Structure 1
Amino acid sequence: MKIEIWSDVMCPFCYIGKRNFETALSQFADKDHIEVEWKSFQLDPDIPEVPNESYEQYLVKRKGLSLEQVQGMLANVTESAKQVGLEYNFDTSVMVNSRKAHQLIQFAKSKNLGDAAEERLFKAFFTEGKSIADIATLTQLGIEIGLDETEIQEAFTDDRYSHYATQDIQEARQIGVNGVPFFVVDRKYAISGAQPSVAFLETLEKSFAEWRTLNPENKLEIIEGQSCTTDGTCE
């Protein structure tokens, strides 16, 4: 059963939502039958690639709140992150455009490393204060999760990975995604926001029971005989 997750690596609730979803998935008996695909989403595609303001300054300008209100809001988010084992350092977060980060994620997905890319980029942005628009930084992060350096460089010049990100963003609009994280389960159910793990688990159990009804597991009664296996053993 497939679960698609629209996310932006600059979204603090996306990282928290990822942890809560992972907690639910670890408790789900049929987790081996779940396929997870990360989808690109940009909360603000107009942010420049070169940083020119802090996280606090950005929110003050965008939300029209006072500095004190923004600081209180970020303190609450930091505490929520701490509750699920995450460390947020908003004072060092580098506010830059996330487009190149999504190109890296799209390339990582082609190597079955989409989840690893999301995780590494979240930590780089929220904990380590790294620029997720800097190609040298992104290349190093990609190498850390097992991607080839030369292929990473090519991914930033190959239009298809940018195109894949655009496709995800357009698809999000088509299905009515206005904010992230946004989880789509078997194209039947949707979970919006960083819900508690129990909410994810309940939806997993409900949707998987329905999916299994339509996709029964075939268990064959096997009569053993002499045969050859893929490891070259014949007996």
Structure 2
Amino acid sequence: MKVEIWSDIVCPFCYIGKRRFEHALEKFPHADQVEVVWRSFELTPDYQPVPGRNVYESLAEKKGITVAQAKQMSDNMADMAKGLGLDYDFDHAVPTNTFLGHQLIHLAAKHGKQGEAKERLMAAYYLQGQNLNEIDTLTTLAAEIGLDAEEARAALTAGTYAEEVRHDEYQAQQINVRGVPFFVFEDKYAVSGAQPTELFAEVLEKVWDESQPANPAPVMLADGPACGPDGCEV
């Protein structure tokens, strides 16, 4: 079974949705046969970081609200994440453009480490206050998950995986993705948003059952007297 997930690195609901989906997958009996593919999605592709500006100020400007309201929204999100073992630290988060980060995730995919890269970048942003605007930081994070640091630096500098990011975003437009996280199961069913773990579990079961070959034996509608290897029924 294939599950494609469109999300952004700095989307708080995306990290929450990731955890909820993972918890459902942990209990799914066929988890080893589920291929998870992370697709790129930039919530603010034209965002230009302003040195010294914090998350609350950036959010306030984007939403047209006060800084105090932005902080309250962030606090509410942090409370939700805490229930999943995620300690969001908005006070130290560094607002970033995520284009480079998505490119790194595509590089990691070429080495079978896409999931590790997605998790590492989200943790670096939300839990550790690292600056994902810097190639030096991204290169260090790449090395931490076992990628070659110099290969990562060269790829990020040259934009080697920029087209892969754009292709993911083009695909999102084609299937009408309006918000993230957005989960697509076997190109057939979609789940939008950070849904409860229980819902993800139900969808996994449903899609798995439907994807299995049909039972070749016909359904018995009537059963009456007949002859078999041991003789005929009387």
Q: Deviations over 1:27-54 (max 9, x none)?
A: 1011111000000010001112554521
Aligned counterparts of 1:27 and 1:213: Cα–Cα separation in 2: 23
The answer to whether the 8 A contact 2:103-2:159 is kept is no
TM-score (norm 2): 0.89
Cα shift at 1:158: 4.1
2:198 is the alignment partner of 1:198: yes
Aligned letter for 2:162? S
Aligned counterparts of 1:105 and 1:214: Cα–Cα separation in 2: 37
Aligned letter for 1:18? K
Q: Deviations over 1:87-143 (max 9, x none)?
A: 101111101111110110010011110000000000100111111120000000000
RMSD: 1.6
The answer to whether the 8 A contact 2:108-2:117 is kept is yes
* CA distance 1:55–1:49, change in 2 (3 Å): closer
* CA distance 1:204–1:56, change in 2 (3 Å): same
Structure 1 partner of 2:134:
134
Aligned counterparts of 2:62 and 2:50: Cα–Cα separation in 1: 18
Cα shift at 1:160: 3.8
Structure 2 partner of 1:74:
74
Cα shift at 1:215: 11
Aligned counterparts of 2:205 and 2:123: Cα–Cα separation in 1: 29
- Structure 2 unaligned regions, length at least 5: 217-234
Cα shift at 1:214: 6.5
Structure 2 partner of 1:30:
30
* CA distance 1:51–1:116, change in 2 (3 Å): farther
Aligned letter for 1:174? Q
Structure 1 partner of 2:184:
184
* CA distance 1:215–1:119, change in 2 (3 Å): farther
* CA distance 1:161–1:214, change in 2 (3 Å): farther
Q: Deviations over 1:36-94 (max 9, x none)?
A: 00000100011125545211001111111122222221111000000000010111110
Aligned counterparts of 2:193 and 2:65: Cα–Cα separation in 1: 22
* CA distance 1:50–1:141, change in 2 (3 Å): farther
Structure 1 partner of 2:115:
115
Secondary structure of 2:92 counterpart: coil
The answer to whether the 8 A contact 2:139-2:150 is kept is no
- Structure 1 unaligned regions, length at least 5: 217-235
The 5-angstrom pairing of residues 155-234 of structure 1 reads 155-213=155-213
Aligned letter for 1:213? P
Structure number with greater Rg is 2
Aligned letter for 1:39? R
Matched residue count? 216
Aligned counterparts of 2:42 and 2:91: Cα–Cα separation in 1: 21
Aligned counterparts of 1:100 and 1:68: Cα–Cα separation in 2: 30
* CA distance 1:110–1:215, change in 2 (3 Å): farther
Aligned letter for 1:34? V
Secondary structure of 1:112 counterpart: coil
Secondary structure of 1:26 counterpart: helix
The answer to whether the 8 A contact 1:96-1:133 is kept is yes
Aligned letter for 1:188? K
* CA distance 1:184–1:206, change in 2 (3 Å): same
Over 3 Å off, 4+ runs: 49-52, 157-160
Cα shift at 1:170: 0.8
Structure 2 partner of 1:43:
43
Aligned counterparts of 2:71 and 2:20: Cα–Cα separation in 1: 24
The answer to whether the 8 A contact 2:6-2:181 is kept is yes
Aligned letter for 2:178? N
Secondary structure of 1:194 counterpart: coil
Aligned counterparts of 2:110 and 2:98: Cα–Cα separation in 1: 19
